[in-house]
Amino acid sequence: MSILASGTHGGLAFPVLTALVLVPLIGAVLTAVSSNRRPEYTKLIALVSSVITGGFGLWMLASFETGDAGFQFVSKHQWIESWGIGWHLGVDGISLFLVVLTGVLFPLVIIGCDPHHDEKPYLAWLLLLEAGVMGSFLSLDLVLFFLFFEIVLVPMYFLIGGWGYDQRIYAATKFFLYTMVGSALMLVGIVTTALLARNDIGRLTFDLVEIAEQGNFAASTGRWLFFAFAIAFAVKVPLFPLHTWLPDAHTQAPTAGSVILAGVLLKLGTYGLLRFGVYLFPEAAVWSRSLFLTLAVIGIIWGAIAATMQTDLKRLVAYSSVAHLGFIVLGTFAFTREAIGGGVMQMINHGVSTGALFLLVGMIYERRHTRQIAELRGLQKVAPIFAAAFTVVMLSSIGVPGLNGFVGEFLVLIGSFSTARWWVVIGATGVILAALYLLWAYQRVFHGEPDEANSTFRELRLREGMVLLPFIGLIVFCGVYPKPMLDRIDPSVKSLLERVEEKSGFVAPDMVHVETHEGEG
Amino acid sequence: MSTVEYPSIDWLAITPLIILLGGMLVTLVVAALTPVWRRGTYALATAVLVVPTVIVEMVLWNRIGHEGPVSIINDALSIDRFAILVWIAIAIAVALVSLSTAEYLRREDLDGPETYALYVCAALGGMIMASANDLIVLFLGLETLSIALYVLAASHRRRAESQESGLKYFVLGGFASAFFLYGIALLYGASGTTNISAMGEAFAGGVLTGNDDAMLLAGVALLLVGLAFKVAAAPFHFWTPDVYQGAPTPVTSFMASVGKLAAFAAMLRVLVVALGNRADDWRPVIWVLAVASVVIGSVLAVVQSDVKRMLAYSSISHAGFILIGVEAAGHGNADGVASSLLYLVLYGVLVIGSFTVVALVARTGDANTGVGAFRGLGRERPLLALAMTVFVLAQAGMPVTSGFIAKFSVIKAAADSESYAVAIVAMVASVIAAVLYLRIMINMWMADPESGDESREAVRVPLTAGVVVALGAAFTLFAGIFPGWLIDATRDAVLR
């Protein structure tokens, strides 16, 4: 075994998770105070700190102990002692790849997207955003999580408002307020959860693990609290009918903002539902599953139909996110190993493929200064390599077998079939609709003869290609060989489900039962 | 032969009051006898005066820790940690506001020692209110504070708005004082004493005769009207926007910090110590005041176009948040008092910082307070805009700032008392209020310049005001990340 593997499961002397949060934070401060006269140094500082963060992320991935369901690399310190709030970070199979994706995505975005003006504050906000996202995925303390979850709003608000397009201020404000309404209720929920759990634990603590293991909530209380959390996450996902901020935010955000928003920020919602909603209040989650399954399926269909109708390419991709996230929620509330595992995998897949789609749409905008589908035509003729890259990413988003999107979607659908059959039956049409709107858009934009404005469309440049390469590599690798990923995700999902079964009495039939069940029907 | 019996006096306990009073009188006399001092020296003298005051206050804080609280001058003043914490906060607020006033008065050509003397005078009144153990003494403190504030509000001699603000405040404040005084009279009738701790014992018995009960309830109601006016809680808030907008901007920051601190300290002491056994009678009133304040303050703040008015309405909503802590105290929850205190201290710094920036952006004449005056500040003065961003984000309750800690503490106290409804209403209102803070940020960072913007006077940041802004922003972030010491201090300062 290598040195890296020698110290796993909390034994790692170096607090790698703390570093994952602090390195981008320090990078943000250094970027902000760097000299105005040497802009290339500013960019270098930002790039180096994001690359170091990404490196730590990969290092953590390499030394992650496969098969261990618990939290690893745990870092636990007192922070505000009189209120029982601690600096408690940890990673398990559910958050592992989200952290790695965050670490990988930011350097690529910093290289691949050009803000056009005021690069220094732009980079500082991006790095602050990275610190916030990392912290949200790693926090195992309710208040600490809330802190990161909420602080993410500020850099994203400034990125959309400062570097976005025409309607940027409207979109930024809408994004900020929608998310804040959700988290306002969640804060009350967090405080109440900890105060009620105090009776069982014997002291006030906001530690997620302690509350989950020792806290005992009456069913009715648990349901109220679950909804206080779930509304915040449902806004973030976004779940129908709370999704209306998303198309605006996505369309108006600068490319980097859209990539990060789709890639990792939306996952705060689905991740939060698993980590805080289902884990803390399994009984309430099972009790309300019909509601969430229904909203998820509506989201899938609604998102797909809305995407079909869009004339703006970026808005189309934004609505496709609503549909894709619907699949993840469907998987989450199906409560089977395959469905939740597939949902977790789909979080990564969606991050990779939709992130890449936004990058590509951003490149189209850079060249043509329009995102209107009607104004684009015949790009395949003038930029074949660009078209090829777009094709791969698009097929992954559609969920074509052999690419990553298929694995996640298929697992969700097959896993949900036994416990949420009719929802799956309707939801599965979303797969077909995805093919419809994406292929139709592709046909309109890339096929045909380029008119005058499109005939000068520039081919993919080397730097752009280098940025896209990791995305396409991941798309193909995860599609062909998803086992290493699933092996790391599955144990944590299994232990989460065991907890759900123990607390709620909900037993998911395993796959063998499905067949007999079908025979009877 | 009878001799007059003088009460024995614990001189150390009133040393902070003596330092401020003596310092103020000496400064006034010396300044009257000498030619005009060099720039900034009046403010500096006031700030220096605060240093020994705070040191003595810290000594007192320690002494109380060893020997317990004392009641001095025939039970007129109660020197406990609650009072001392408010004293320290008031003293520091005086120093900060004085520094931020220094260049303001020069810019407006109003320089002189009077403003500072009035600050100190008002602070003395506020300190007496915070420690008063007798309703009459409390009233004296209230009047000392108020009269100084009336004059301060009208102190910009060349602005009609300032005169109007002073007059409005005076007339309405006089009304409120009358209510307050009537309340004292009725409470005296119900309990037979004006002493706050004696009143608490008088009401401890529980059963009062029917008539006394009516008198007590009427007294509590009138007292609450007077106090709610002073803390600017809805529906007694109508003076706030006009007075805050018209008063010279540093004076506004003084009213919003020291005025609120003193009035809330008095309210807490009266409600918890004198009427603690009657909490079931006043708690519903506080509940209504709290909900009305957070909702009305937030909603009306959003539709304003003048930043001073916005912050005035937002101060009403903040008063509502503090009242949530008071409501929790009404459930016998000690954290209710602690959370109110914590909120007051943190908000005091925030509001001084915010108004200092507003005073700078208002430019010469102190009239440029529309939200458009902030347009392009991010390019012109990035550091000032950054500090203002910290202040408004903190007021919106964003984490990693002191504003989050403040909101968290009152929400926690409310949830602990099972007042979930008021906690949820307050959090939703804070989202509404966020619109206003976002508007300020949009103008600073994202708004495109409009015609006429280039010809505007540049925003100058003098050293003293810059120091106040920097200290305020640094404290806001520091207290947001390391709030433990302050939380413990407010917990030690709980009234018992």
Nearest CA in chain B to A190: B412
Please give the residue that has the higher pLDDT: either B459 or B308: B308
Nearest C-alpha neighbor of B392 from the set B437, B335, B448? B437
Confidence at residue B212, expressed as pLDDT on a 0 to 100 scale: 67
Task: Give residue-wise pLDDT tens across range A63-90.
Answer: 888 888 888 888 888 898 889 899 999 9
Task: Calculate how close chain A gets to B243, using CA atoms only, in Å.
Answer: 30
**CA distance linking residue B483 with residue B487, whole number of Å:** 6
**CA distance linking residue B442 with residue B435, whole number of Å:** 10
Mean pLDDT (chain B, rounded): 90
Sole residue written with tokens 């996640």: A408
**CA distance linking residue A172 with residue A433, whole number of Å:** 30
The C-alpha angle A419, A423, A429, rounded to 5 degrees, equals 130
Please give the residue that has the higher pLDDT: either A36 or B445: B445
* Residues from chain B contacting residue A157 (CB–CB below 8 Å): 438
Confidence at residue B38, expressed as pLDDT on a 0 to 100 scale: 82
Confidence at residue A65, expressed as pLDDT on a 0 to 100 scale: 87
Confidence at residue B449, expressed as pLDDT on a 0 to 100 scale: 75
User: Angle A462-480/A384-398 helices, nearest 10 degrees?
Assistant: 30
Torsion angle of alpha carbons A216, A220, A222, A228, nearest 10°?
-150
Residue contact B488–A195, C-beta within 8 A: no
* Residue A41: band (very low, low, confident or very high) from pLDDT cuts 50, 70, 90: confident
Q: Token pair for residue B374?
A: 């902030």
Q: Token pair for residue A110?
A: 């910093």
Task: Give residue-wise pLDDT tens across range A174-185.
Answer: 999 999 888 899
Please give the residue that has the higher pLDDT: either B117 or B277: B117
Task: Give residue-wise pLDDT tens across range A215-272.
Answer: 888 888 889 999 999 999 999 988 888 888 998 888 888 989 999 998 899 999 999 9
Residue B5, domain member (yes or no): no
Confidence at residue A517, expressed as pLDDT on a 0 to 100 scale: 43
Q: Residue count of chain B, please give it.
A: 496
Task: Give residue-wise pLDDT tens across range B233-245.
Answer: 989 999 999 999 9
Bridge partner residues of B132 (DSSP):
B77
Task: Give residue-wise pLDDT tens across range A432-487.
Answer: 888 889 999 898 888 888 888 888 888 888 888 899 999 999 999 988 898 888 88
Mean pLDDT (chain A, rounded): 87
CA distance to A58, A101, A146, A339, B129, per residue, from A95 (Å): 13, 10, 16, 16, 54
Percent of chain B surpassing pLDDT 90: 64
CB A270 within 8 A of CB A184: no
User: Angle B382-395/B334-361 helices, nearest 10 degrees?
Assistant: 150
Confidence at residue A34, expressed as pLDDT on a 0 to 100 scale: 82
**CA distance linking residue A297 with residue A303, whole number of Å:** 10
The C-alpha angle B148, B248, B233, rounded to 5 degrees, equals 70
Confidence at residue B2, expressed as pLDDT on a 0 to 100 scale: 63
Confidence at residue B131, expressed as pLDDT on a 0 to 100 scale: 93
Average pLDDT on B155-162 reads 88
Residue contact B487–A180, C-beta within 8 A: no
Percent of chain B surpassing pLDDT 70: 98
Confidence at residue B208, expressed as pLDDT on a 0 to 100 scale: 59
Residue A42 has pLDDT above 90, yes or no: no
Strands B77-79 and A85-91: unpaired
Residue B3, domain member (yes or no): no
Confidence at residue A518, expressed as pLDDT on a 0 to 100 scale: 40
B483 touches chain A (CB under 8 A): yes
Q: Supply φ then ψ for residue A198, to 5 degrees.
A: -55, -35
Task: Calculate how close chain A gets to B479, using CA atoms only, in Å.
Answer: 11
Residue B59, domain member (yes or no): yes
Average pLDDT on B465-489 reads 93
Query: Given A148, A177, A188, which is nearest B420 (Cβ)?
Result: A188
* Residue A155: band (very low, low, confident or very high) from pLDDT cuts 50, 70, 90: very high
**CA distance linking residue A473 with residue B214, whole number of Å:** 80
Sole residue written with tokens 């009984």: A283
Sole residue written with tokens 């997620």: A208
Residue B479, domain member (yes or no): yes
Average pLDDT on B116-123 reads 94
Task: Calculate how close chain B gets to A187, using CA atoms only, in Å.
Answer: 8
Residue B1, domain member (yes or no): no
Question: What do you get for the CA distance between the two ends of chain A, in Å?
Answer: 52
Task: Give residue-wise pLDDT tens across range B54-89.
Answer: 999 999 999 988 888 888 888 889 999 999 999 999
Nearest C-alpha neighbor of B232 from the set B169, B182, B185, B178? B169
Query: Given B393, B434, B484, which is nearest A177 (Cβ)?
Result: B434
CB B326 within 8 A of CB B286: yes
Task: Give residue-wise pLDDT tens across range A92-116.
Answer: 989 999 999 999 999 999 988 888 8
Instruction: Identify the domain containing residue B101 by its residue range.
Output: 11-492
Q: Token pair for residue A199?
A: 């009776």
Residue B312, domain member (yes or no): yes
**Other Cβ atoms closer than 10 A to A463:** 10
**CA distance linking residue B21 with residue B54, whole number of Å:** 14
**Other Cβ atoms closer than 10 A to A420:** 25
Confidence at residue A519, expressed as pLDDT on a 0 to 100 scale: 39
Window from A517-521, B173-177, B366-370 with minimum mean pLDDT: A517-521
Average pLDDT on A118-147 reads 92
CB B259 within 8 A of CB B230: yes
Residue B170, domain member (yes or no): yes
Task: Return the number of CB contacts < 8 Å for A and B.
Answer: 79
Number of H helices, E strands in chain B: 20, 2
Question: Chain centroid to CA B253: how far?
Answer: 9
Nearest CA in chain B to A185: B424
Picking from B435, B440, B442, B486 by the largest number of A CB atoms within 10 A of its own CB, the best residue to mutate is B442
B/e letters for B74-93, b = 16+ CB within 10 Å, e = fewer, are ebbbbbbbbbbbbbbbbbbb
Task: Calculate how close chain B gets to A193, using CA atoms only, in Å.
Answer: 10
Question: Which residues lie closer than 8 Å to A212 by C-beta, 6 or more apart?
Answer: A279, A280, A499
CB B368 within 8 A of CB B469: no
Confidence at residue B108, expressed as pLDDT on a 0 to 100 scale: 85
Residue A213 has pLDDT above 80, yes or no: yes
* Residue B364: band (very low, low, confident or very high) from pLDDT cuts 50, 70, 90: confident
Confidence at residue B322, expressed as pLDDT on a 0 to 100 scale: 95
Confidence at residue A514, expressed as pLDDT on a 0 to 100 scale: 40
CB A60 within 8 A of CB A98: no
Confidence at residue A10, expressed as pLDDT on a 0 to 100 scale: 44
**CA distance linking residue B47 with residue B367, whole number of Å:** 27
Nearest CA in chain B to A145: B399
Average pLDDT on A337-365 reads 91
Residue B458 has pLDDT above 90, yes or no: no
Task: Give residue-wise pLDDT tens across range A483-508.
Answer: 888 889 989 998 998 888 888 877 77
* Residues from chain A contacting residue B411 (CB–CB below 8 Å): 187-188, 191
Residue A19 has pLDDT above 80, yes or no: yes
Average pLDDT on B23-31 reads 91
* DSSP three-state, residue B77: strand
Confidence at residue B211, expressed as pLDDT on a 0 to 100 scale: 62
* Residues from chain B contacting residue A81 (CB–CB below 8 Å): 484
Confidence at residue A510, expressed as pLDDT on a 0 to 100 scale: 60
Q: Token pair for residue A137?
A: 């995925």
Confidence at residue A504, expressed as pLDDT on a 0 to 100 scale: 81
Average pLDDT on B185-204 reads 88
ipTM (interface predicted TM): 0.90
Peptide bond before A238: cis, by omega within 30 degrees of 0? Answer: yes
- Report which residue type is found at A63: S
* Residue B209: band (very low, low, confident or very high) from pLDDT cuts 50, 70, 90: low
* Residues from chain A contacting residue B398 (CB–CB below 8 Å): 150-151, 153-154
Confidence at residue B206, expressed as pLDDT on a 0 to 100 scale: 61
B412 touches chain A (CB under 8 A): yes
* Residues from chain A contacting residue B438 (CB–CB below 8 Å): 157, 173, 176-177
**CA distance linking residue B359 with residue B374, whole number of Å:** 11
Residue B210 has pLDDT above 70, yes or no: no
**CA distance linking residue B406 with residue B383, whole number of Å:** 25
Residue A2 has pLDDT above 50, yes or no: no
* Residue A521: band (very low, low, confident or very high) from pLDDT cuts 50, 70, 90: very low
CB A146 within 8 A of CB A179: no
Residue B135, domain member (yes or no): yes
Please give the residue that has the higher pLDDT: either B211 or B414: B414
Confidence at residue B93, expressed as pLDDT on a 0 to 100 scale: 95
Domain count, chain B: 1
* Residue A33: band (very low, low, confident or very high) from pLDDT cuts 50, 70, 90: confident
Question: Which residues lie closer than 8 Å to A309 by C-beta, 6 or more apart?
Answer: none
Nearest C-alpha neighbor of B343 from the set B414, B259, B407, B422? B407
Query: Given A148, A177, A188, which is nearest B411 (Cβ)?
Result: A188
**CA distance linking residue A514 with residue A433, whole number of Å:** 27
Q: Token pair for residue A30?
A: 């250094």
Residue A516 has pLDDT above 50, yes or no: no
Quick one: DSSP state of residue A88?
Answer: E
Question: Which residues lie closer than 8 Å to A3 by C-beta, 6 or more apart?
Answer: none
**Other Cβ atoms closer than 10 A to A421:** 14
Confidence at residue B1, expressed as pLDDT on a 0 to 100 scale: 54
